[in-house]
Amino acid sequence: MSRLRSAMLKGKRAGLEMVDTAKPKRKRSHTAVKDENTTNASSPSTYHTFHDPTDVVLLRSQLLNWYDKEKRELPWRTLAVTESDLNIRTYAVWVSEIMLQQTQVATVIDYYIKWMKRWPTVKDLAAATLEEVNQMWAGLGYYSRGKRLHEGAQKVVSELKGQMPRTVDSLLKQLPGVGRYTAAAVGSIALAQVTGAVDGNVIRVLCRLRAIGADSTGPAVTEALWSLANTLVDPERPGDFNQAMMELGARVCTPKGPLCSQCPVHSHCHSFRKVHVKQEKNSRKLLGKLDKKPSSLPDIEDCMGHVLGVQNFPRKPAKKPPRVERTLTCVVIRRGEEGEDEYLLTQRPNKGLLAGLWEFPNLLLEEKSSEMKRKKALCAQISGILGTHLTESLFQYVGEVVHIFSHIHQTYVVHSVCLKDTDTQTQTENAQWLTRSTLQEAAVSTGVKKIVKLCDSVDSQKEQTSKDGKRQKQTGTKNDKTPQTSTKKKSAANSGSRQLSLSSFFNTVKQES
């Protein structure tokens, strides 16, 4: 009896086990799988860092060898190597780093060459006026950078006896507009200070090398990236190493379409390895399923793995859409004393957007305003600047110009007015008349140059229309003077060539006979 009872219990347990086995297993969440994969690779503290000194030495060697062969020849790099005067070298690298903020290398080159030719030392820059600096900076964007360079040069001359700071900390503390990255870059390149430098390119490279998927703009991740950069930087060639990291991010490890096969350090790259392993796994999975001849093929996405690959790193928060603005702008023109057209410009405040630059008179446009209201508002503003009375009928609509700032989508609604009075004088200090040639060289923004280009285009169209109209009139007059005899001959010829009807044909034959 006891044996029978034990056998029944065993049978019951086996049945339960079969039921459990038959139950479909619950899918683990993506997060759980991801955590497991990370843990399997190594602990998070080592997986996202460089814990092996041998790997660090190898990475430095591979990167610097690539840089020595592939680096671009740029004027500031040449100067940093050839200039023996430490003060001039530090100044030159400082100027280049400020210009390169938020601006492409190709755009900066010409500006940098002109700048260094005009102000080769920090004392030369300090002696310049802000107006001259703004003129030189015009078109480079982010105009406060030029102003801070000028302020910094004046501070070096007046407070530091003309000597540029000699350490990263002093660069950071003593120069206006110099942040953590700029101080590290100047310190490592010009002064051989052993420090990492983390800019946008370096953030991307580091996040991909260590598969850092957290928000790269967060404070904790920022500190972690700086720690990584300081770990990796070559103590013998800190400036070259930092420039090599930037060069790698700019040319190989790009935001879109990274050239992983050409990367000198892809063997150290966790994100590249993740993609490679995933692709191999999916390939084996696909081949295995095909060998078994399944009833349905696997989903194509299962075979692709992570579609973006290394481009999944770094992760950034979504950008705020730019603020939309519409600005009513007026190009005021008068005939100068020497017969050349002159343009009225006003100067912007010394602080804020486009600080200290010159522009055409303008005012922010209200959302719902008629053409008459716009002209009336412009008329009042310009009458105030000139101290005279103008009428709305003088103002003509020209067109619209779109100009994109980093945070503003600006549309200039352009009008123009031509004044006949050459004695019209400005009544405010921040307004002046400039000839066309002077305007091109003045401290004006790219938006102003676009407006001038629009006006030129409209004027040329008007001239072309006028010429076409004159030609048509001349052609019409000539046709009117054509002798009538020739017209009759032509009509007769035309009538003779027309096909006759059958009845007309037989009547003609009878008459001839």
- Residue 360 near residue 331 (C-beta atoms within 8 A): yes
User: Residue 2: what residue type?
Assistant: S
* Count of Cβ atoms closer than 10 Å to residue 113 Cβ: 12
Which residues are 362's β-sheet partners? 329
Residue count (the chain): 513
Please choose, from the candidates 397, 399, 407, 406, the residue with its C-alpha nearest in 3D space to the C-alpha of residue 450.
399
- Residue 162 near residue 215 (C-beta atoms within 8 A): no
Please choose, from the candidates 433, 272, 242, 250, the residue with its C-alpha nearest in 3D space to the C-alpha of residue 342.
433
Given 73, 83, 97, 512, which residue is catalytic? 97
Angle made by CA atoms 153, 154, 156, in degrees to the nearest 5: 65
> Is 297 exposed, middle or buried (CB count within 10 Å of its CB: 0-12, 13-18, 19+)?
exposed
Question: Residue 143 has what DSSP assignment?
Answer: T
**Distance separating alpha carbons of residues 122 and 155, to the nearest angstrom:** 10
Question: Residue 444 has what DSSP assignment?
Answer: B
Please choose, from the candidates 204, 218, 196, 186, the residue with its C-alpha nearest in 3D space to the C-alpha of residue 257.
204
Residue 97 designated active-site: yes
Place of tokens 């310009």: 382
**Mapping DSSP to helix (H, G, I), strand (E, B) and coil, where does residue 33 land?**
helix
DSSP symbols for 305-372: -SSSGGGG-SB-PPPPPPEEEEEEEEEEEEE-TTS-EEEEEEEPPSSSTTTT-EE--EEEPPSS--HH
User: Residue 457: what residue type?
Assistant: S
* Count of Cβ atoms closer than 10 Å to residue 147 Cβ: 19
Query: Containing H/E element for 415?
Result: strand 408-419
Q: Name the residues annotated as catalytic.
A: 97
